[in-house]
Structure 1
Amino acid sequence: MGQESKMATVIPPIPQNDSWYLSLLGLAEAFRTASPPKIKLCIHCLESIFQFKPPANIEARTHVQLGTLLFTHTKNIDLARSHLEKAWVLSQSMNSFDDIKFEASSVLAEIYQQSNQLHLAKPVLRKAIGVSQQSAYWHCRLLFQLAQIHTFEKDYISSCELLGLGADYAAMYGSEYTRGLFLLSRGMLLLLEKKLTEVHQVLSFCGTLIESFTGNPTQQESLKVFFLILQVCHFLVAGQVKSVKPCLKQLQQSIQTITVLHSDDEPLSSNPADLFHWLPKEHMCVLVYLVTVMHSMQAGYMDKAQKYTDKALLQIGKLKILDSHPILSAFQLMLLEHIIMCRLVMGNKSLAIQEISQACQVCQQQPKLFTTHGAQLHTLLGLYSMSMNCMESAEAQFNTARRLTTQTELWIFISLNLAIVYLRCGNRQQEALTLLERITPENVRTSSHSLRAAAYYVKGLQSFFQTRYNEAKRYLRETLKMSNTEDLNRLTACSLVLLGHIFLSLGNTRESMNMVMPAMQLASKIPDVHVQLWASALLKDLYQLSGDPVRESEGYQMHTTFSSQLLKDHFQSSQLSEHNLIQWTEGPCPVQTPPEGASASLL
């Protein structure tokens, strides 16, 4: 949400004859801005101010400055909290210098939030919001901050109400830019709630607002990037990989435009309600890389996903050196989640498990991320276990992930993969049947086109294992129809090769060949090594049946190459210490010790 500010800390008017205060303040600032900063000396200077028994406004301001310094530069959170609580109490009896009150409430609420004491943060912010209507900047900032806390609690209704109030207030105060930030933030939450009709209404209105915007060019382009990110995510959540392409292209053009704009050369708005920005340009670039990776992964362009992931992780590595903002860790984790799935599709299990370990390290550094991404980590471990034929571990990981997730789409994705585990085990057909009865393609509770297509594929796979071939063909043709509509290449390749297997089982070698050849071509393009392995085995048999020993030999050679590649990688993965992560099903991320002499991170 757009709550970063360009406004500098406000210093209250200094009483005359208080040269001691100016001297100590100047000295403290010199220590703070030294290279490197001398924070300890800065703190000592500010603490000395209390010896002079200053007026209430200076005492409150000094407590705010100390609390903010301690919070930002030290680990002494308790002392920071103590200073800010004193500033907050002192400010209650002050009629003027309201900025002290608002800054104290904002930073104090941040400390409460970091300490997981949201019940203390919310009343402080509500009280400050209640008296801040005359200070446009602070009123908007505090509304964003309280909305963010409600979002963290998954209380999207309260958060949306606050963002709606903020949009109305910004409009009344003549700030179309900040109104757009509030509305787009609300649209983002409605998207999380899958209220797609309301999302469409918000985005339609915001599109008109952005087109008619006449203010700062950087602000307009920033709103446009935010708007297009939501549009792209809207399509991707719905599994509409082909339909999203025009929006994604617009987004990539817009990020190029914003990177060449020089906001420093643009005059600052005189409207205090305008003094916000959504994200720094560098963070926006990473986010555009991320949604491009998400699209490439869903479409089955693994090489493209890998290329953009490498670029994004390199950018994150550079940005973290300058400012390790928590949002960068969130972006890093989401990029890792997508590239891990790409590695597994491409048959690079050893890289995948090392990157899963890396994702665990990110969660150890930012424990809040495990709260929101724990289910995804266990899902990835389940997919890795499947690729290693460790079916008991895969089942345990998927069940852990299903228990942890609150997202309908993720629950369905996990359940479909768990059903495949049961089908592959041979003696677990009843468990697969029970599970798939809950997620039949016709009544699966999702708006995702790709998940419905996947549900048809898994039903086709189930019918195949039960040797109900005609029924399997019906399901797989439905998958193909849906996959082709939205260019879901991997589902298309999997469906074609399975249909090829079915036709071969029925003795129809011509139809089998018509399925297997395009499956192999598409799998090579992705590249999906597992489908290539499967298709090459079928081709070898088909050429043998058709009496073509030369091509049979070629098919055999292809199959041997893919098989050797996967077996070699399988052995490497099983020897890695990170492989033991498949045993982890309870509690926080286990600590991963990197090998001696190795870097703890691949970044």
Structure 2
Amino acid sequence: MAAQAAAAAQAAAAQAAQAEAAESWYLALLGFAEHFRTSSPPKIRLCVHCLQAVFPFKPPPRIEARTHLQLGSVLYHHTKNSEQARSHLEKAWLISQQIPQFEDVKFEAASLLSELYCQENSVDAAKPLLRKAIQVSQQTPYWHCRLLFQLAQLHTLEKDLVSACDLLGVGAEYARVVGSEYTRALFLLSKGMLLLMERKLQEVHPLLTLCGQIVENWQGNPIQKESLRVFFLVLQVTHYLDAGQVKSVKPCLKQLQQCIQTISTLHDDEILPSNPADLFHWLPKEHMCVLVYLVTVMHSMQAGYLEKAQKYTDKALMQLEKLKMLDCSPILSSFQVILLEHIVMCRLVTGHKATALQEISQVCQLCQQSPRLFSNHAAQLHTLLGLYCVSVNCMDNAEAQFTTALRLTSHQELWAFVVTNLASVYIREGNRHQEVLYSLLERINPDHSFPVSSHCLRAAAFYVRGLFSFFQGRYNEAKRFLRETLKMSNAEDLNRLTACSLVLLGHIFYVLGNHRESNNMVVPAMQLASKIPDMSVQLWSSALLRDLNKACGNAMDAHEAAQMHQNFSQQLLQDHIEACSLPEHNLITWTEGPPPVQFQAQNGPNTSLASLL
């Protein structure tokens, strides 16, 4: 018995020594691999060699699975060798499923592998993998929640928002059961964001009310609490802006701006939450700051505070450039594109067409780098080109760009915006497109079933109807539409629509010979247009003031208005010539496929400024 015990002890000692030796060579190789990975610059080839050197030692399954995961992760993140990365991750996932209590390796392998499948456009392989991982992760709260978020994101990218919302609802209920009100709020706010995208407003209101209560009642990490509040307020602000309610949103926007200031003063608390389901954050502080700048720019654009929009865009773009040096997150490129889209519209209004065209070109370059970004913003890009074409009086190109945008968009608000602008192109073109124009005007009829709930777009539709009636010589009808626009735009501080409506009403009264009433409209139109500043309305207003004062015998005032008109004309003419001479001007002919890679310089088309002068 003693001999057997001694032999058993000896065998155990030998096994322990072998395990210790195995651990020592493994740790040594792992240490070398990490050293090479974190070198500056990283030595990825040497890192991979060290990890591959583990396999000839015939390691136990745990070490084998972990090494496959590490190799797959390094190859996925640092090389273009997706085939080898996929092979290692698939092995890590396969082996780890046979090992009990090996959750981190198992679920990280599933998560990374599904990411890689999506990158290779193998979504049909990613979905069942994530579903299997979700099914077996229910006893691991952190990974269960993370995988639910990941599958919901995948469905969102496929534009299957119903499935994504269902998964987020499942996640919210699971978080509630495991006692994580913080992550429950994240799931619910994410679901609210998708419901807003789907325009399911009846479901959004009660959900946001519940989210507001959860956020206020949750007592935890101050940064996490404030980030939830930022998420909640961003949804509220975008909800108001989508509805075109620029004045009503101001209290929410002010709260959001105060909230981001609070977050910027808080220090990151390194104490980990006691509940593993709480180990999430919505966005880094720096990303949230850019997002708040972005919604402020959106508000300023809708309200017609264009100098303010430009100031916040400059701040946001400066911060984005700094962040992109350290972070290649796709969301930063999305922020950049949306900011540029808004500042382009701003430049076109303020009479900086050449700069606007160069910024449209920037958006093209960003979209060239990401097919997904182009897919999400192609319609907006053609809309911007359509607006630019209108500003340089290339009406056939404007029609082609707007028609392309309509073909590419399924977003109702963008559709209504494009149709409104296309209708204004047809109105200015006269009788060439009568049938199409009548059809468009009927589809955006603000008196009947307007297709979207946006207050701003409905007010713009009344303006377009007024413009059409003016061109038709039906002045009383035009006045009715324009007074409706004024009533709606004044209710929500839509300054640019107010200025456009006032100057058009002033023009109608001038044509009717009512000079006093015309003056009462044109003077405030000019004041408001100067404040925005809107170059086209200032040009129009100064021409009317010149003619009004001449008709009333006010020679000095007429001369002053004529001088102003001449100044605006010269500025616009100079900018017009500069824009049309840029090689980027060739973009106006692009209506198919991805953005052109380069532009050939040209003298510029034979465009007319007649409509401006």
Residue aligning to 2:363: 359
Q: 1:554 is matched with which residue: 550, 560, 580?
A: 560
Residue aligning to 1:473: 479
Q: Distance in 2 between matches of 1:309 and 1:341?
A: 12
Within 5 A, what are the aligned runs for 1:455-494? 455-494=461-500
Name the amino acid aligned to 1:535: S
Residue aligning to 1:576: 582
Q: 2:277 is matched with which residue: 269, 273, 277?
A: 273
Residue aligning to 1:8: none
Q: 2:161 is matched with which residue: 156, 160, 167?
A: 156
Matched, 1:404 2:408: yes
Residue aligning to 1:225: 230
Q: Distance in 1 between matches of 2:345 and 2:503?
A: 20
| Local SS of the residue matching 2:419 | helix
Residue aligning to 2:546: 540
Matched, 1:91 2:92: no
Q: Distance in 1 between matches of 2:316 and 2:75?
A: 32
| Partner deviation per Cα, 1:299-327 (whole Å, 9 max, x = no partner) | 00000000000000000000011112111
Matched, 1:247 2:252: yes
1:401, distance to aligned residue in structure 2 (A): 0.3
Residue aligning to 1:375: 379
Residue aligning to 1:215: 220
Moved more, 77-86 or 61-70: 77-86
| Partner deviation per Cα, 1:166-193 (whole Å, 9 max, x = no partner) | 1111111111111111010000001101
Residue aligning to 1:68: 73
| Partner deviation per Cα, 1:133-173 (whole Å, 9 max, x = no partner) | 01111000000000000111111111011101111111111
Residue aligning to 1:288: 292
Matched, 1:347 2:351: yes
- Matched-pair identity in %: 69
Residue aligning to 2:14: none
Normalised by the length of structure 2, the TM-score is 0.93
Normalised by the length of structure 1, the TM-score is 0.95
Name the amino acid aligned to 2:95: L
1:53, distance to aligned residue in structure 2 (A): 1.6
Name the amino acid aligned to 1:222: S
Matched, 1:316 2:331: no
| Local SS of the residue matching 1:267 | coil
Moved more, 51-60 or 232-241: 51-60
Q: Distance in 2 between matches of 1:32 and 1:593?
A: 40
1:594, distance to aligned residue in structure 2 (A): 10
1:57, distance to aligned residue in structure 2 (A): 2.0
Within 5 A, what are the aligned runs for 1:417-432? 417-427=421-431, 428-432=433-437
* Displaced runs of 4 or more, over 6 A: none
Residue aligning to 2:209: 204
Residue aligning to 2:310: 306
1:80, distance to aligned residue in structure 2 (A): 1.1
Residue aligning to 2:391: 387
Residues 586 and 599 in structure 2, CA contact (< 8 A), matched pair in contact too: no
Q: Distance in 2 between matches of 1:458 and 1:78?
A: 56
Q: Over the residues paired in the alignment, what is the CA RMSD in angstroms? A: 1.2
1:115, distance to aligned residue in structure 2 (A): 1.7
| Local SS of the residue matching 2:156 | helix
| Local SS of the residue matching 1:276 | coil
Q: Distance in 2 between matches of 1:79 and 1:346?
A: 53
1:88, distance to aligned residue in structure 2 (A): 1.8
Name the amino acid aligned to 1:152: L
| Partner deviation per Cα, 1:189-232 (whole Å, 9 max, x = no partner) | 01101111211111111111111111111110010010010010
Q: Distance in 2 between matches of 1:594 and 1:386?
A: 22
Matched, 1:520 2:526: yes
| Partner deviation per Cα, 1:51-106 (whole Å, 9 max, x = no partner) | 11212222111111111111111122222112111222222333331221111110
Name the amino acid aligned to 1:280: P
Matched, 1:510 2:513: no
Q: Distance in 2 between matches of 1:242 and 1:561?
A: 33
1:15, distance to aligned residue in structure 2 (A): 5.0
Name the amino acid aligned to 1:61: R
Q: Distance in 2 between matches of 1:493 and 1:66?
A: 62
Residue aligning to 2:11: none
Q: Distance in 1 between matches of 2:308 and 2:464?
A: 27
Q: Distance in 2 between matches of 1:15 and 1:378?
A: 64
Residues 489 and 522 in structure 1, CA contact (< 8 A), matched pair in contact too: yes
Residues 525 and 541 in structure 2, CA contact (< 8 A), matched pair in contact too: yes
Residues 340 and 380 in structure 1, CA contact (< 8 A), matched pair in contact too: yes
Residue aligning to 1:563: 569
Matched, 1:262 2:267: yes
Name the amino acid aligned to 2:26: Y
Residue aligning to 1:436: 441
Residues 329 and 366 in structure 1, CA contact (< 8 A), matched pair in contact too: no
Q: Distance in 1 between matches of 2:19 and 2:450?
A: 69
Q: Distance in 2 between matches of 1:470 and 1:115?
A: 61
Q: Distance in 1 between matches of 2:50 and 2:459?
A: 66
Q: Distance in 2 between matches of 1:406 and 1:77?
A: 33
Matched, 1:450 2:456: yes
Moved more, 195-204 or 489-498: 195-204
Name the amino acid aligned to 2:288: M
Name the amino acid aligned to 1:240: Q
Q: Distance in 2 between matches of 1:477 and 1:432?
A: 22
Moved more, 62-71 or 333-342: 62-71
Q: Distance in 1 between matches of 2:370 and 2:160?
A: 22
Residues 242 and 486 in structure 1, CA contact (< 8 A), matched pair in contact too: yes
1:459, distance to aligned residue in structure 2 (A): 0.5
Q: Distance in 2 between matches of 1:116 and 1:309?
A: 34
Matched, 1:182 2:182: no
Which residues of structure 2 form unaligned runs of 5+?
Answer: 1-17, 602-613
Residues 343 and 351 in structure 1, CA contact (< 8 A), matched pair in contact too: yes
Residues 357 and 592 in structure 1, CA contact (< 8 A), matched pair in contact too: no
Structure 1 pair 105/15, CA: closer, same or farther in 2 (3 Å)? farther
Q: Distance in 2 between matches of 1:134 and 1:15?
A: 30
